[in-house]
């Protein structure tokens, strides 16, 4: 049986992959926390690859602290670019397919049309820049890869916007949420299913793809939907980005076009509100 190595297994997407694999009865996945497999340790990685001889590597390891990245440029670049390069080189050496997770933050988001894989990238901050550098180094080393850009990840696992809004909504009388940043929430359970399906299919349609749930929304409307589906009564006030300054600039419009992944890989994508309902129900059942 072929082996799939999952790096960054303790993060949100890594936990979702483990959950979906259990639900499906999928075997052959080895979930590796940073303590077991540091993508910045080439020697340790070489030993791991030699022992496991993986058919696939899923890289969920990343520096994702968007604002802190503005001050920790070197660390963000080491993890988001150099670590990816380390994995890509070993994948090329062992004939392993690399599945890399990237982000909508590679775009400036200044337009109003869904962004395709061939649209110009122009990151507004260090996080997006270093994730883009990670994307760009892969095809210089191996052709055997899938890079999946995604956006606004949430789930029942780890910290995320949905769980934060539920907590704050129950604690406070009023919340102010940004309405002039538009994108698409992505249920990380759905993304995990797509990744595992990609492996199960054995597809060789390598390259760069966009994946998020369908539709679009603002953070304000997303929060409103969370409260509605969760039965939380809290006054929610829309505010502009300028009223909530952050160290890193976010793309104002980062809705991604998913035509390529639907047509070339046959992926069916649920609407964001449908997936949000599922997540809220699962969170309620776990209480």
Known catalytic residues are: 127
- Residue 192, CA distances (Å) to 9, 14, 147, 185, 217 in order: 12, 8, 14, 14, 22
Cα(20)–Cα(66) distance, integer angstroms: 27
188-207 exposure pattern, b = at least 16 Cβ within 10 A, e = fewer: bbbbbbbbbbbbeeeeeebe
Alpha-carbon distance of 278 to 16, in angstroms, equals: 14
State the Cα–Cα distance between residues 18 and 73, nearest whole angstrom: 31
How many angstroms separate the CA atoms of 285 and 213, rounded? 23
- Specify whether the CB–CB gap between 117 and 100 falls below 8 A: no
| Sheet arrangement for strand 97-103 | 29-32, 4-7, 56-59, 97-103, 145-150, 207-210
Q: Give CA–CA dist 12/33, Å, rounded.
A: 12
- C-alpha pair distances (Å), 45 with each of 32, 57, 87, 91: 11, 12, 8, 10
CA 122 → CA 147, 173, 259, distances in Å?
A: 18, 39, 21
């Amino acid at each position: 049986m072929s082996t799939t190595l999952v790096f960054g297994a303790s993060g949100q997407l890594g936990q979702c992959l483990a959950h979906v694999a259990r639900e499906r009865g999928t075997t052959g996945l080895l979930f590796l926390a940073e303590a077991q497999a540091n993508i910045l340790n080439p020697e340790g990685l070489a030993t791991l690859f030699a022992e496991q001889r993986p058919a696939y590597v899923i890289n969920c390891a990343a520096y994702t602290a968007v604002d802190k990245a503005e001050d920790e440029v070197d660390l963000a670049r080491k993890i988001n670019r150099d670590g990816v390069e380390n994995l890509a080189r070993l994948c090329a050496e062992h004939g392993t397919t690399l599945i890399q997770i990237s982000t909508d933050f590679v775009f400036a988001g200044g337009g109003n049309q869904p962004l395709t894989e061939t649209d110009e990238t122009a990151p507004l901050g260090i996080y997006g820049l270093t994730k883009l550098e990670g994307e760009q180094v892969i095809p210089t080393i191996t052709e055997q890869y899938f890079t999946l850009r995604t956006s606004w990840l949430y789930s029942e696992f780890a910290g995320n916007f949905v769980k934060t809004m539920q907590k704050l909504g129950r604690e406070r009388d009023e919340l102010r949420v940004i309405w002039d940043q538009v994108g698409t929430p992505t249920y990380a359970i759905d993304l995990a299913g797509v990744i595992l399906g990609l492996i199960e299919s054995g597809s060789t349609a390598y390259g760069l793809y966009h994946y998020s749930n369908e539709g679009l929304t603002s953070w304000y409307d997303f929060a409103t939907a969370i409260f509605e589906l969760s039965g939380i009564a809290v006054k929610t006030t829309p505010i502009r980005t300028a009223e909530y300054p952050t160290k890193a600039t976010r793309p104002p419009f980062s809705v991604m076009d998913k035509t390529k992944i639907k047509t070339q890989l046959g992926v069916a994508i649920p609407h964001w509100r449908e997936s949000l309902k599922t997540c809220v129900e699962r969170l309620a059942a776990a209480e």
